[in-house]
Amino acid sequence: MSDFIPLSVPNLKGRELEYVTHAVETEWVSTGGPYVNDFENKIAEYVHAPAAVSCQNGTSGLHLSMLAVGVKAGDLVIVPTLTFIAAVNPVTYIGAEPVFLDCDDSLCMDPEKLKVFCEEECELKDAADLANGSSSNQKVLIHKASGKTVKAVVVVHIFGNMADMEKIMPIADKYGLRVIEDATEAIGTYYTDGIYKGKYAGTIGDIGVYSFNGNKIITTGGGGMVVSEDKEYLDHIKHLSTQAKSDELYYEHDEIGFNYRMTNLQAALGLAQLEQLEAFIKVKNDNKALYKKLLAGFGGELLENRDNIRSNCWFYAYMCKDSDERDRLISHLKEHNIQSRPIWGLISEQKPYKGAISYKIEKAKYYRDRVVNIPCSTNLSENEVEKVCEALKAFKG
């Protein structure tokens, strides 16, 4: 049997050992240490954000972001159904409720359905007219059927593609929704054209969140990062991530905080990985182009990214004709010692979210039944791409 070809594994061939060894030798291994600040500064510089705050993972970053923008128990938060469940669970940590929305052909949130949901299923009301006694002159979006406030929208940039932020942001602005960008799969992706030309995934909404999990394009083993143009948001997120100490010397705490800070060891690893990010993105794009070239004319195709972005090409989405072919292909590749996986099950159909509000989920079901992720590691060789394509062609017959 040929050597195993994994789906997506870390590439640790830079200065990782040097930086981590230095952190150990200087005994800065916990949440203090110079690498944490350095990594935060370098991420902010890379995505052209004014500042960044590190955290334990992307999930904790999303949790902190929702708290920072004011999501409260009983509020509604619009989320995609086609995503990893970690994008949705933080909504429930707070006691808020998700509203599941469909995707478009980018696999990201459908802005047209977002618009119609806000127009037809909700209504704008003056905050001062609500029963909570608010004296604010702001407008609040109320879901008609439940009477609950729609506070925010979580936009996930799937597989390193970019959601249509040019359409989403005006909708959010009109209806007073805070936008949290789940860019956990999309660090390095940016617009090459349009009104957001040069803007990186994670830097367009109110807050952006990145992940450095082991299968991401760069990794700290675990770990995440939050960016924003709003200093108050970032200050609050940092405060919450360090147990909300109002007086560090005397251990005074002014609200419920969390132990969500990144360690110096993780940051040392991440700093070395960040130095290689552009090279990794080139490999990802080159290998996707090679896949497309070798598969041309054989009945299989990879989904394209939005044409006005430079994508980090984190994962490749190979299209099958139906769920039966999807499952048979995964088994076929496994027999050839090639790891693959289906896209996620729809979150709105998962047991914890049965009964949650869902709005016109249609296209997400189509892609759920057809997408297979194929090997895409940044150390994937041309020879390995060729072997995967040979297996795909053999499956097609």
Cβ–Cβ < 8 Å for 386, 371: no
Tokens of 227: 């960016």
Strand-by-strand arrangement of the 178-182 sheet = 52-55, 224-227, 207-211, 178-182, 150-156, 76-80, 97-101, 357-359
205 and 94 inside one domain: yes
93 and 140 inside one domain: yes
In a domain, 1, yes or no: no
Residue 359's pLDDT is what?
Answer: 97
**pLDDT tens digits, 57-96:** 999 999 999 999 999 999 999 999 999 999 999 999 999 9
299 and 203 inside one domain: no
Q: Which residue, 113, 138, 115, is CA-closest to 125?
A: 138
**pLDDT tens digits, 167-212:** 999 999 999 999 999 999 999 999 999 999 999 999 999 999 999 9
121 and 60 inside one domain: yes
Portion of the chain with pLDDT greater than 90, in percent: 92
* Residue 112 burial (CB count, 10 A): 12
**Of 274, 296, 325, which closes a domain?**
274
In a domain, 388, yes or no: yes
Q: Give the Cα separation of 115 and 121 in Å (integer).
A: 10
139 and 186 inside one domain: yes
244 and 326 inside one domain: no
Residue 134's pLDDT is what?
Answer: 54
**Of 274, 295, 324, which closes a domain?**
274
Length of the chain: 397
Residue 270's pLDDT is what?
Answer: 98
Range of the domain at 321: 277-396
The answer to whether residue 323 scores a pLDDT higher than 90 is yes
262 and 347 inside one domain: no
Cβ–Cβ < 8 Å for 27, 204: no
Question: CB within 8 A of 249, min separation 6: which ones?
Answer: none
For strand 122-126 and strand 139-143, is the pairing parallel, antiparallel, or unpaired?
Answer: antiparallel
122 and 255 inside one domain: yes
In a domain, 369, yes or no: yes
**Of 237, 253, 274, which closes a domain?**
274
Q: How far is CA 90 from CA 73, 77, 181, 300, in A?
A: 12, 10, 13, 36
Biggest CA–CA distance in the chain, Å, is 71
Output the domain CATH number for residue 74.
3.40.640.10
**Structural domain count of the chain:** 2
In a domain, 268, yes or no: yes
142 and 262 inside one domain: yes
Output the domain CATH number for residue 341.
3.90.1150.10
Q: Give the Cα separation of 90 and 211 in Å (integer).
A: 15
In a domain, 3, yes or no: no
In a domain, 5, yes or no: no
171 and 239 inside one domain: yes
DSSP letters of 284-328?
HHHHHHHHHHHHTTTT-EEPPPPTTEE----SEEEE-SSHHHHHH
In a domain, 2, yes or no: no
Average pLDDT over residues 219-226: 96
Residue 244's Cβ-count burial label (10 Å; 0-12, 13-18, 19+) is middle
141 and 159 inside one domain: yes
Please state whether 357 falls in left (phi above 0), alpha (psi between -120 and 50) or beta: beta
What is the residue whose two structure tokens read 């609050």? 236
What is the residue whose two structure tokens read 């956990």? 184
Residue 136's pLDDT is what?
Answer: 60
350 and 390 inside one domain: yes
In a domain, 10, yes or no: no
**pLDDT tens digits, 130-168:** 755 555 668 899 999 999 999 999 999 999 999 999 999
- Bridge-partner residues for 200, per DSSP? 190
Predicted model pTM: 0.96
